[in-house]
Amino acid sequence: MKTKSFKALIIWEKAYKLVLEVYKITKTFPRHEIYGLTQQMRRAAISIPSNIAEGYGRKHKAEYQQFLSIAYASLLELETQYLLSLDLDYINKNEIIENFIKEVGSMLYRMIYPIR
């Protein structure tokens, strides 16, 4: 049974919370990164719940899966940028973000490639 709103999707809720966490950590980035890594991480993070929501609004399952694939690609992009931020010593390891990345990633993967 389909939920009435994309906001009722657990995956969307977790992805949305991931965005909030990304905004929190990027506030501490060096000023010279405002148009670099800060902006890139925020855009990648925002893309995840946005594509989940947009896909949910599509009429066909194939379209929904396409948007879930885009969300998954954005998640991988965000994970790469998070790792780069760690290596550049802009942030310390953040278990909240790492857990959301892991959870959202596995949920998206299972939605895109369901067991047959």
Each domain of the chain, given as residue ranges in start order, spans 27-112
Angle between helices 61-87 and 10-26 (to 10 degrees): 30
What pLDDT, on a 0 to 100 scale, did the predictor assign at position 1? 47
What pLDDT, on a 0 to 100 scale, did the predictor assign at position 100? 98
Say if residues 75 and 108 touch (Cβ distance below 8 Å). Answer: yes
What pLDDT, on a 0 to 100 scale, did the predictor assign at position 2? 64
Residues 6+ apart with CB under 8 A from 29: 37, 38, 85, 90, 91
What pLDDT, on a 0 to 100 scale, did the predictor assign at position 92? 96
27-112 CATH pick, 3.30.310.50, 1.20.1440.60, 1.10.3720.10, 1.10.287.130: 1.20.1440.60
Say if residues 49 and 12 touch (Cβ distance below 8 Å). Answer: yes
Q: What are the average pLDDT values for consecutive 10-residue runs of the chain, which has 116 residues?
A: 82 98 97 96 98 93 95 98 97 97 97 81
**How far, CA to CA in Å, does 105 sit from each of 37, 77, 88?**
21, 12, 24
What pLDDT, on a 0 to 100 scale, did the predictor assign at position 11? 97
What pLDDT, on a 0 to 100 scale, did the predictor assign at position 30? 95
